[in-house]
Structure 1
Amino acid sequence: MTTLGPLLRHVRTSLEQAGKPEAALDARVLVEHFTGTSRTDAITDPQRPVSEEHAEAVLAALARRICGEPVHRIIGAREFYGMRLTLSPGTLEPRPDTEALVDLILPFVRAAADRHGTCHILDLGTGTGAIALALLSQEPRAQAVGADISDDALATAAINADMTGNTGRFQAVRSHWYSEIEGRFHIIVSNPPYITSKDVLSLEREVRDHDPLAALDGGPDGLAAYRVIAAGAAQYLEESGIAAVEIGHDQSDAVSGIFAAAGFRSAGRAQDLGGVVRALAFSR
């Protein structure tokens, strides 16, 4: 009979032997997910029986992780800004660095809601809906349109809107950037693809093989999406509106220049957990 403690140790040891850098964390996430247990269970009841079905599911997940599939892809979900979001093949896996963009734009969302009684947000390339839904979760007066070219991403974003209780305030729209967008917004926000085409091939296997290419490849210089977003922002922003984007670690000056050329000035910036400028905001 399999029990919880030995199963957890087996998974952790196997991942360590496979050279996975976060073996202990990955083991805990996989075992807890597929056995329906918690960290407390592993500490206080390590001899808790694990059914054969659950043990087999854990071992199958272990094999996938050893082969390079990210742990959150395996469990099909990831935490972001206090929300648990469903993932799918058509969505980028939300990462902690993107929370800097939410932190940067949230005061503008609240200020718009104070002035107008609501805040209309456009999230370009919404993916899982992470950014828009994080903002909606923090400001109940806000509403958001999540635009994406991927039908899979839009379906996933709609699921996440329902799971986070935001169905009535979130609309998923199939659009290539602004192509199918109507109306004006107080906030335009985006985490666009910003990796240069040549650098995509050198990304870690977990990212290159499992995140959608369209959400990674920003063109020859990594800036293609910013030019599109900046060029169209004035047409879709309210007069006092704000545009905000996530950027690569070395793109602050280049992206600022693109928005300046489109008639925008800096309205703020935010750093990621490593102290690197990761998000920029602009006003007209």
Structure 2
Amino acid sequence: MFDLPLNPATGAGDWLRSARDRLEAVGIESASLDARMLLLDGLALPHSVIVAEPNLALNDQEIERLEAMLSRRLAREPVSRILGWREFYGRKFEINPQVLDPRPDTEVLVETALNKVDQHFGPAHACRFLDIGTGSGCIAVSLLAERPGWTGCATDISSDALDVARANAATHKVADRLELIEVNWASGVTGPFDLVVSNPPYIASEELRGLMPEVQNHDPAVALEAGADGLDAYREIFGAASTLIAPGGLMILEIGATQAARLRSLAADTGLIAQDHQMQEFCDLAGHVRVLLLRPDAANG
């Protein structure tokens, strides 16, 4: 398996190159980054040490630990799952098999929410928000960490997921401003809220089989699948919007890369008006619209 002697003379740089090559051989595009993250976490060392000492000797125990981690990645388990954490919006979040692995795309939602609340209500506004289907809590915790004057409520159907969110809230010192509720979507939650956010499931059932193994085999299906057309979760959320969004409030949702037009229409049918989504601020790095910004239609209020 390992093509160098397992002895103290084996260097960190040697292992790093071997790991990169083996990851590339099975078609993992992020091989260099993945190998480096495994090395740093496996040795509990900062990147600066590896840069300064590329030939740092590894003992047999360290190599065994690194090889065990690498074997999991070669089997297409995500690096974040192996490490047990994911960096999101500049902070480290604990994850486990009960929660969705946070995606960089979701940072667009957080950035949009922060900016739009500041623009809409003013930067000093003590926003009260609801995060529906919080999972790891990455959205709610990030909002609270960025805005010390805000308070939030976050829901999830899974008590295990809420335990993860609770731990992340404590880690980032926002637990006293976050209420966690175990419910399906927002059933029974008392509004209204200035802001409602969610990254709900939006994968159509038939598309699940086409997902990368890192997603299909390691993210909880309940956090991915949303019925035949991928819109079931949005129907639930839109149906409850009138009792959740305060007059003049906002709803900001993450959406699939091709769902904007259909969701604009679906939202309108429930009395929600979508803002223009050709604006760059609503797009991910690939240029796909990732955020739906909605307001209650005043004419229906």
TM-score normalised according to structure 2 size: 0.90
Can you give the 5+ residue segments of structure 1 that lack an aligned partner in the other structure?
none
Q: Per the alignment, do residues 181 and 54 of structure 1 end up closer, same or farther by CA in structure 2, a change over 3 Å counting?
A: farther
* CA-CA distance at 1:115 after TM superposition: 8.2
Equivalent of residue 240 in structure 1, options 240, 248, 251:
248
Equivalent of residue 167 in structure 1, options 175, 180, 189:
175
Partner of 2:97: 89
Q: List aligned pairs for 1:62-211, cutoff 5 A.
A: 62-111=70-119, 114=122, 117-211=125-219
The count of aligned residue pairs is 284
Give the aligned residue type for 2:152: A
Give the aligned residue type for 1:148: D
Which deviates the most, 179-188 or 28-37? Answer: 179-188
Q: List aligned pairs for 1:20-99, cutoff 5 A.
A: 20-99=28-107
Give the aligned residue type for 1:157: A
Q: Secondary structure at the match of 1:201?
A: helix
Whole-angstrom CA distance in 1 between matches of 2:132 and 2:169: 16
Runs (4+) off by over 6 Å = none
Contact 2:23 2:31 in 1 (8 A): yes
Contact 1:121 1:187 in 2 (8 A): yes
TM-score normalised according to structure 1 size: 0.95
Partner of 1:231: 239
Equivalent of residue 272 in structure 1, options 256, 271, 284:
284
Q: Which protein is bigger by CA-based radius of gyration?
A: 2
Contact 2:202 2:231 in 1 (8 A): yes
**RMSD over aligned Cα atoms:** 1.6
Q: Per the alignment, do residues 155 and 104 of structure 1 end up closer, same or farther by CA in structure 2, a change over 3 Å counting?
A: same
Whole-angstrom CA distance in 2 between matches of 1:17 and 1:118: 52
Whole-angstrom CA distance in 2 between matches of 1:54 and 1:145: 43
CA displacement 1:5-56 (0-9 Å, x = unmatched): 1121221122122221111100000000010123222221022233433322
Identity of aligned residues (%): 38
Contact 1:88 1:152 in 2 (8 A): no
Contact 2:118 2:125 in 1 (8 A): no
* CA-CA distance at 1:149 after TM superposition: 0.5
Whole-angstrom CA distance in 1 between matches of 2:257 and 2:173: 33
Give the aligned residue type for 2:53: D
Contact 2:16 2:39 in 1 (8 A): yes
Contact 1:104 1:268 in 2 (8 A): no
Contact 2:159 2:182 in 1 (8 A): yes
Can you give the 5+ residue segments of structure 2 that lack an aligned partner in the other structure?
1-7, 297-301
The answer to whether 1:217 aligns with 2:228 is no
